[in-house]
Amino acid sequence: MVANISNIAHIPFLIVYYHIVFFVKKQSLYMMCSCKKLIKTEGI
């Protein structure tokens, strides 16, 4: 029973963790794309 309770308790933390990881990856991809656009427009 104790193991089941601890597993259930970990699920919300995992969901939050994956949301943070996904958000960070999305933000970094957006930054990379915007940097590439800047490089193309500036001609660096």
Q: What is the pLDDT of residues 1-44, one digit of tens each?
A: 556 767 777 888 889 999 999 999 999 988 888 888 887 876 65
Distance CA 34, CA 44 (A): 14
Distance CA 25, CA 32 (A): 11
| CA dist 15 → 8, 21, 26, 28 (Å) | 12, 10, 16, 20
pTM score of the predicted model: 0.52
Q: Which residue blocks in 1-44 are alpha helix, DSSP H?
A: 2-42
pLDDT for residue 26: 92
Distance CA 32, CA 24 (A): 12
